């Protein structure tokens, strides 16, 4: 009998049972999902939070101000983090000696390194000039070399040479002078051991000739030995030194029977500027691990140099020697023959005042393999005319020059195209590119460049400001920081000022640094920026130093999406990784002492991401700060996009517009972890609140029949206490199920938020049950309340429908609660997603973590929405079920289906109206209180939930009305 009673009442209260079961399942599932979300955040952060080092140390003021000015963002490869003072050698030793410091890697900025400009010869090479007929007749040529480079937006002109030069061959043969270089004299004439005539080429400067209506000859610099030719000497002159045991006659025969090469040289590759830095190679190797293997050669060279005595090596450069006896053996003699020879000789230098010879410093370096952009050269020097019986006086007259230039030009002159970048090797000062005249072969002579120079200047921090509102309105979306660079003047790329680029950085000058006289920069290795480990997907720290400089043009137009390369001057918008890296001992040659601008510190004893690890790192930072240094915790940093506007970028001083760079965001890991965990716990609370509200609403919807039953039992003589116990016996199994689910959720969860939410949901249901027991047996419940109804008769189907809706207030309340749950859940999900991503930032690590937690957060939201949908469905069904008899009665009285549909539509919309208004008010309140960055999306959500509910109601009306037809 008791089992039958339970079954009867359970089947009558199936909605209560189902919703309480849903609440229990939701508690457990939500707790597990939140734990998974927490674990996903933890794993993602743990795998991406730590770069090569944890602390960035500078002298006071070196970094803190730079970070504060840009919202905790630091530019990549930033080479001007130089404070008023340097970190001394004693401070460096003190940091390295700390017990909890695993690696202390110093970094010092030496200055701006300039790879020299390269010149290429333009002329002709003849195998045997004495028999070839090229020089038998005078010939006139004219043309240019156009050099272009890839500026990220296409190939742009870099230089054009010569600027209006006119060339004549076959007249005024060159005088070749053989000299004895061992004799003591300053004049080639005094040392002359014989002369003969050699073919030559004369170059005329067209613009200069037209300006003065004369003939302006260009100095082709054919004096190979550096002697000054007499000022009144018109004929070109070449000095050929006598080789040992060679007489003048032998030399002359060799020259007469040899090849002839006549040419002038023109600049093809401009100077390229990049930074030169000093590091401790062993510490760098420890920071980078296997990725830093390119430092092994630098370590080996410095180790040998520390115990080797200055001076030349024994034997000959090509002799076989045991490893470690000669520094020159560690230099590639085939790639760097001049440097190899100087290092073998000990890099001797002679004081011109005293004549004393000593040995200048040999400074080992590692250079960047990707300094130069892609460059191409297109040359065309067509032959204009060939002459007979043309002497030098006639050929060099202004009238002849005008006659030749006014003559016809070849329609399709031969063109030579050269990939200049393929021929560029840093520190190799021979450039094997040459251009021929007309269709004749080019001269077989190498072009050389001067040795690279290092200045004590460094590119400073770009002068930036906040864009005005109008400019800011065009900034790219999804980026939190937007700046504008202030132009600092143009830098001319070539000597003739045919092209230039905008500079955005001032110079920082270090007066404590000067290049050592006669120092030999010795390449022992190279590296390619962007290698694996140079900039991980997320865990990038400031001054990672080895990453590719990257910036993307995002300004709408034809250049959108193109990369912006580094500048030639080193003072453009994008900073490159160092062009040259040397050792701290090499730095000492420039400054006279060992000092550092920054120290990168990796803390020992860190095992994964945790609050304890962060606390440990901060403790070590405090110990270093006690030494009087400025410390920034960079563990947990990541790259984040920054929008930069570049004004006056192009040659015509027009703006380039917006570009996006990636800077280092300090504390990104902590920021994203806190934001996403807060979002997950908030969604957990919303999901449990929605299901709990559903369970409570369903329970309250059953109070009316219980009240009728209680009145009947009391009229039969039952006491109120007995009635309460009667109904409580029905509710205990449900409460036990929910309580067990809550206990399980609390047990499996490690979050206090999840535990409190489960306990609160259980207490809310218990409170609802107890309140319901009191309500059904309260004295006031024995009095039947009689609805008064309307004094006016119903005026039509719509009015009847509205009255039917209000005759079921419980269903109206449940509908309102359902819409409130749906609207609140949808708005909260949108707000959480938007706010969490905004607070987490736009760094790389934020993107990784956001992707990991999106699914768990969506599942929690789906749980809450499911509760709202179930509650909404139950409310609509209850509304229609309670009025079903009235609907059938209306049909039997002769109502058409259209009239019934109108009545039902009005009934359901009236039942829906309070909930829709409540949902709109709640959504509008959330918008006004939070003020989200994307209000359009939230407005769509706020309006979309009631609109979707109305659409469902209209569809349900059609289906329900159609089902009421008579069979």
Asked if residue 162 has a cis previous peptide bond (ω within 30° of 0), the answer is yes
Q: What's the confidence (pLDDT) of residue 539?
A: 46
Closest CA to 754 of 818, 683, 681: 681
Q: What's the confidence (pLDDT) of residue 794?
A: 56
Q: What's the confidence (pLDDT) of residue 534?
A: 47
Per-residue pLDDT tens over the stretch 510-534: 666 677 888 888 999 888 877 555 4
How buried is residue 557: exposed, middle or buried, by Cβ count under 10 Å (0-12/13-18/19+)? exposed
Per-residue pLDDT tens over the stretch 225-249: 222 333 333 344 444 444 555 555 6
Closest CA to 672 of 36, 56, 46, 31: 46
Is residue 136 over pLDDT 60?
A: yes
CA distance 372 to 79: 19
What is the dihedral angle through the alpha carbons of 423, 426, 428, 432, rounded to the nearest 10 degrees?
10
Name the β-bridge partners of 197. 175
- In 390-474, which residue ranges form alpha helices assigned H by DSSP? 392-395, 398-405, 469-472
Comparing 805 with 230, the larger pLDDT belongs to: 805
Residue 845 dihedral angles phi and psi, to the nearest 5°:
-65, -30
| C-alpha angle 883-888-891 in degrees, rounded to nearest 5 | 130
3-state per-residue secondary structure call for 774-794? HHHHCHHHHCCCCCCCCCCCC
Q: How far is CA 255 from CA 149, 193, 353, in A?
A: 40, 14, 38
Name the β-bridge partners of 681. none
Comparing 143 with 425, the larger pLDDT belongs to: 143
Least confident of 377-386, 447-456, 822-831: 447-456
Contact residues for 375 (Cβ-Cβ < 8 A; gap 6+): 147, 148, 149, 150, 158, 269, 419, 420, 421, 424
Is residue 184 over pLDDT 60?
A: no
Per-residue pLDDT tens over the stretch 338-372: 888 889 999 888 877 777 888 888 999 998 887 67
Q: What's the confidence (pLDDT) of residue 576?
A: 76
Residue 962 dihedral angles phi and psi, to the nearest 5°:
-65, -30
Is the separation of the CB atoms in 502 and 646 below 8 Å? Answer: yes
Q: How far is CA 546 from CA 279, 536, 558, 566, 602, in A?
A: 13, 11, 31, 14, 17
Q: What is the DSSP letter of 397?
A: S
Q: Taken in order 703, 705, 708, 713, is the CA torsion positive or negative? A: negative
Q: What's the confidence (pLDDT) of residue 226?
A: 28
Half-sphere exposure of residue 920: CA atoms within 13 angstroms, side-chain side: 12
Q: What's the confidence (pLDDT) of residue 97?
A: 92
Is residue 94 over pLDDT 90?
A: yes
CA distance 869 to 919: 14
Half-sphere exposure of residue 715: CA atoms within 13 angstroms, side-chain side: 9
User: pLDDT grade, residue 180 (50/70/90)?
Assistant: low
Q: What's the confidence (pLDDT) of residue 626?
A: 92
Name the β-bridge partners of 107. 279, 598
DSSP state string for 219-287: -----TT-PPPPTT--S-EEEEEPPTT--HHHHHHHHHHS-EEEEEEEEEE--EEEEEEEE-HHHHHHH
Least confident of 390-399, 426-435, 737-746: 390-399
Q: What's the confidence (pLDDT) of residue 800?
A: 83
Q: What's the confidence (pLDDT) of residue 959?
A: 84
Which helix (H) or strand (E) segment holds residue 428: the answer is none
Which helix (H) or strand (E) segment holds residue 770: the answer is helix 752-777
- Give the three-class secondary structure for 945: helix
Per-residue pLDDT tens over the stretch 597-615: 888 898 998 887 777 888 8
User: pLDDT grade, residue 222 (50/70/90)?
Assistant: very low
CA distance 340 to 333: 5
Q: What's the confidence (pLDDT) of residue 191?
A: 40
Q: Residue 683, Cβ neighbours under 10 Å: how many?
A: 29
Q: How far is CA 128 from CA 10, 196, 199, 255, 405, in A?
A: 115, 15, 11, 10, 30
User: pLDDT grade, residue 250 (50/70/90)?
Assistant: low
DSSP state string for 857-893: HHHHHHHHHHHHHHHHHHHHHHHHHHTHHHHHHHHHT
Is residue 646 over pLDDT 90?
A: yes
How buried is residue 966: exposed, middle or buried, by Cβ count under 10 Å (0-12/13-18/19+)? exposed
Q: What's the confidence (pLDDT) of residue 484?
A: 92
Q: In the numeric block, which tokens belong to residue 383? A: 């032959």
CA distance 399 to 162: 22
Q: What is the DSSP letter of 362?
A: E
Q: What's the confidence (pLDDT) of residue 211?
A: 66
Average pLDDT (417-444) is 84
Comparing 751 with 476, the larger pLDDT belongs to: 476
Task: Provide the mean pLDDT of the chain.
Answer: 76
Q: Where are the beta strands (DSSP E) in 31-94?
A: 55-58, 73-74, 87-88
3-state per-residue secondary structure call for 124-159? EEECCCCCCHHHHCCEEEECEEEEEEECCCCEEEEE
CA distance 742 to 760: 9
Q: Which of 259-268, 329-338, 791-800 is modeled with the greatest confidence?
A: 329-338
Per-residue pLDDT tens over the stretch 193-204: 445 556 677 787
DSSP state string for 709-731: HHHHHHHTT--HHHHHHHHHHHH
Q: Residue 875, Cβ neighbours under 10 Å: how many?
A: 28
CA distance 574 to 963: 71
CA distance 859 to 855: 6
CA distance 681 to 37: 9
């Amino acid at each position: 009998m008791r089992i039958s009673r339970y079954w009867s009442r359970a089947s009558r209260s199936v909605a209560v049972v189902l919703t309480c079961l849903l609440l229990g399942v939701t508690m457990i599932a939500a707790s597990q999902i939140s734990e998974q979300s927490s674990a996903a955040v933890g794993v993602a952060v743990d795998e991406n939070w730590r770069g090569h080092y944890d602390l960035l140390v500078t002298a006071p003021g070196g970094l803190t101000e730079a970070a504060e000015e840009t919202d905790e963002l630091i530019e990549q490869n930033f080479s001007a983090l130089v404070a008023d003072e340097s970190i001394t050698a004693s401070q460096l030793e003190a940091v390295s000696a700390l017990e909890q410091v695993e690696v202390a890697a110093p970094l010092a900025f030496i200055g701006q390194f300039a790879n020299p400009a390269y010149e290429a010869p333009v002329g002709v090479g003849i195998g045997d000039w004495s028999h070839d007929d090229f020089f038998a007749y005078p010939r006139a040529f004219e043309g240019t070399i156009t050099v272009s480079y890839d500026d990220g937006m296409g190939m742009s002109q870099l230089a054009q040479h010569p600027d209006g030069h006119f060339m004549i061959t076959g007249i005024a043969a060159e005088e070749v002078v053989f000299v004895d270089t061992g004799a003591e004299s300053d004049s080639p004439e005094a040392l002359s051991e014989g002369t003969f005539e050699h073919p030559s080429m004369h170059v005329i400067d067209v613009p200069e000739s037209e300006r003065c209506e004369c003939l302006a000859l260009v100095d082709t610099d054919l004096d190979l030995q550096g002697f000054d030719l007499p000022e009144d000497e018109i004929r070109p002159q070449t000095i050929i030194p006598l080789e040992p045991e060679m007489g003048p006659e032998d030399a002359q025969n060799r020259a007469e029977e040899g090849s002839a090469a006549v040419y002038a040289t023109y600049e093809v590759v401009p100077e390229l500027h990049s930074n030169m830095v000093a590091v401790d190679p062993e510490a760098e190797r420890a920071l980078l691990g296997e990725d830093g293997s390119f430092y092994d050669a630098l370590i080996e060279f410095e180790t040998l140099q520390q115990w080797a005595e200055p001076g030349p090596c024994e034997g000959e450069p090509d002799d076989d020697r045991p490893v470690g006896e000669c520094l020159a053996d560690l230099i590639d003699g085939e790639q760097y023959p001049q440097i190899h020879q100087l290092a073998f000789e000990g890099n001797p230098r002679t004081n011109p005042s005293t004549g004393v010879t000593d040995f200048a410093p040999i400074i080992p370096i590692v250079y960047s393999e990707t300094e130069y952009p892609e460059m191409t050269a297109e040359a065309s020097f067509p032959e204009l005319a060939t002459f007979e019986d043309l002497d030098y006086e006639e050929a060099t007259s202004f009238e002849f020059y005008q006659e030749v230039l006014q003559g016809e030009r070849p329609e399709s002159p031969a063109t030579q195209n050269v990939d200049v970048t393929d021929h560029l090797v840093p520190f190799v000062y021979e450039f094997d590119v040459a251009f021929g005249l007309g269709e004749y072969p080019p001269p077989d002579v190498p072009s050389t460049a001067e040795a690279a120079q290092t200045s004590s200047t460094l590119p400073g921090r770009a002068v930036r400001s906040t864009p005005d509102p109008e400019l800011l309105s065009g900034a790219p979306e999804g980026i939190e920081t937007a700046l504008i660079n202030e132009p600092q003047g143009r830098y001319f790329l070539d000597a003739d000022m045919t092209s230039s680029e905008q500079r955005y950085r001032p110079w920082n000058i270090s007066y404590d640094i000067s290049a050592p006289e006669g120092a030999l920069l010795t390449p022992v290795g190279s590296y390619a920026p962007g290698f694996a480990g140079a900039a991980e997907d997320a865990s990038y720290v400031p001054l990672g130093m080895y990453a590719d400089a990257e910036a993307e043009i995002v300004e709408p137009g034809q250049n959108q999406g193109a990369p912006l390369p580094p500048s030639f001057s080193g003072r453009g918008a994008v900073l490159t990784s160092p062009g040259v890296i040397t050792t701290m001992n090499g730095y000492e040659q420039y400054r006279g002492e060992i000092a550092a601008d920054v120290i990168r510190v990796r803390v020992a004893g860190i095992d994964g991401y945790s609050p304890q690890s962060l606390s440990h790192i901060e403790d070590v930072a405090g110990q270093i700060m006690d030494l009087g240094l400025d410390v920034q915790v960079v563990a947990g940093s990541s790259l984040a996009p920054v929008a930069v506007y570049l004004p006056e970028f192009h040659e015509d001083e027009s703006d380039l517009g917006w570009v996006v760079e990636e800077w280092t965001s300090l504390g990104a890991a902590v920021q994203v972890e806190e934001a996403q965990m807060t979002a997950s716990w908030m969604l957990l609370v919303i999901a449990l609140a929605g299901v709990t509200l559903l369970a409570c609403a369903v329970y309250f919807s059953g109070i009316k029949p219980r009240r009728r039953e209680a009145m009947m039992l009391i009229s039969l003589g039952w006491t109120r206490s007995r009635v309460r116990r009667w109904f409580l016996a029905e509710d205990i199994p449900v409460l036990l199920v929910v309580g067990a689910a809550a206990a399980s959720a609390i047990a499996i969860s490690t979050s206090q938020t999840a535990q409190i939410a489960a306990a609160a949901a259980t207490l809310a249901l218990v409170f609802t049950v107890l309140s319901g027991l009191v309500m059904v047996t309260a004295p006031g419940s024995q009095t039947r309340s009689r609805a008064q109804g309307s004094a006016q008769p119903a005026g039509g189907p719509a009015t009847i429908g509205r009255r039917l809706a209000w005759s079921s207030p419980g269903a109206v309340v449940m509908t309102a609660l359902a819409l409130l749950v749906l609207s609140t859940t949808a708005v909260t999900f949108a707000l959480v997603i938007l706010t969490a991503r905004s607070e987490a930032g736009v760094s790389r690590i934020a993107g990784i973590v956001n992707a990991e937690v999106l699914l768990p957060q969506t599942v929690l939201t789906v749980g809450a929405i499911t509760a709202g949908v179930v509650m909404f469905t139950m409310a609509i069904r209850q509304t229609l079920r309670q009025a079903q008899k009235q609907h059938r009665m209306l049909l039997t009285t002769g109502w058409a289906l259209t009239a019934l549909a109108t009545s039902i539509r009005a009934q359901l919309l009236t039942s829906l109206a309070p909930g829709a208004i409540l949902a709109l008010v709640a959504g509008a309140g959330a918008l006004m209180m939070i003020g989200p960055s994307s209000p359009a999306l939230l407005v769509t959500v706020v309006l979309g939930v009631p609109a979707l509910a109305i659409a469902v109601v209209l569809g349900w009306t059609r289906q329900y009305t159609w089902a009421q037809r008579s069979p």
